[in-house]
Amino acid sequence: MEPEITKRYNDQILDEAIRRFDIPEDQIMLLDGFESYIYEFERDDTAYILRVGHSLRRTVDLIRGEVDWINYLSAGGAGVSHAITSSRGELVEAIDDDHGGQFLVTAFEKAPGRPSWKVEWSPALYQTYGKLMGRIHALSKTYTPTDPAWRRQEWNDPANLDVLRWLPESEPKLSERFRQIHAYLETLPHDSESYGLIHQDAHPGNFFVDDAGRITLFDFDDCVYGWYVYDIAMVVFYMIVVDDDPVGLLRSFWPPFWSGYCEENALDSKWLAEIPHFMKLREVDNYALLHRSYGDLETIDPEENGWVTAFLRDRKRRIEENVPLVDFDFT
């Protein structure tokens, strides 16, 4: 969470959000949140998620674009958490923070099922994962924002990708590596079959799985216009980045995932050769964001931040020397 947003947040903001979404005061509880305040609440025996973000991160129109796309995907049969309206019929409620900004409040149906780490992974689930991503990309090809002002950012907009801002001056080699990756990716072509609105963060922590093996994806806060293979690369990245045997995992994961994807969307397989480049982009981006969140990376407590500690292990050297995340031929 950006420190300035934390400074501006208070109980009065939450009380107003509760009022606008007609939430019983005894039916709401705080969940974890990295970029926004996330709550779960119940109303009429149905579970929902309330998200309180801030205009320092996203404008009202960007949030409207996010929920517009989510509900388009839901209407098209993709497994996503549908956005609901407030008591005034608004998908996004803006609450002034008395400092010249606004807290932006949205609510969603809670995804059914359990977190992915509580289920047993199988080839069938890998295939379902691929089908979901393929369905989202197929629908993106026909999506146009309801209002042109709601168009989401491009992948390299500084509001989405601001690596050089957060990398300290003591990390010049990482900054140079980022510039090289960024320059290469900017040479890739944009066309309607390969480039469109993507989730950008569809890792297993952002979906639940129900008893029938259906996946429901949520947390579309980072959705941007980018290459569909970028979305696929982010799935692969988070599946393997801290795994002890990434090649072994990919041998099990990739064939059913890609098979499922191809059932729902046609993407030229030549794009799969770009997966390592997009994974390297996320490596350095994550490294920079950890500097933003923690400052001195040497002070991170491994017991409180196990995933972060595992990610950072030998990460600086691997980025500087351009070591591939994994030696695997996706094509």
Spell out the per-residue pLDDT of the chain, length 331, in tens: 778 999 999 999 999 999 999 999 888 999 977 789 999 999 888 999 999 999 999 999 999 999 999 999 999 999 999 999 999 999 999 999 999 999 999 999 999 999 999 999 999 999 999 999 999 999 999 999 999 999 999 999 998 999 999 999 999 999 999 999 999 999 999 999 999 999 999 999 999 999 999 999 999 999 999 999 999 999 999 999 999 999 999 999 999 999 999 999 999 999 999 999 999 999 999 999 999 888 888 888 887 788 999 999 999 999 999 999 999 999 9
Work out the angle between the directed axes of helices 228-240 and 275-294 (0-180°, nearest 10).
60
CATH architecture observed for domain 3-110: 2-Layer Sandwich (3.30)
Q: How far apart are CA 251 and CA 126, in angstroms?
A: 12
| Predicted TM-score of the model (pTM) | 0.94
Fold of the CATH domain 115-320:
Aminoglycoside 3'-phosphotransferase; Chain: A, domain 2 (3.90.1200)
pLDDT of residue 253: 98
pLDDT of residue 250: 98
Locate 283 and state its tokens.
């490596």
- Domain positions in the chain are 3-110, 115-320
Amino acid identity, position 165? R
CA distance 252 to 328: 12
Q: Which two tokens stand for residue 11?
A: 């109980």
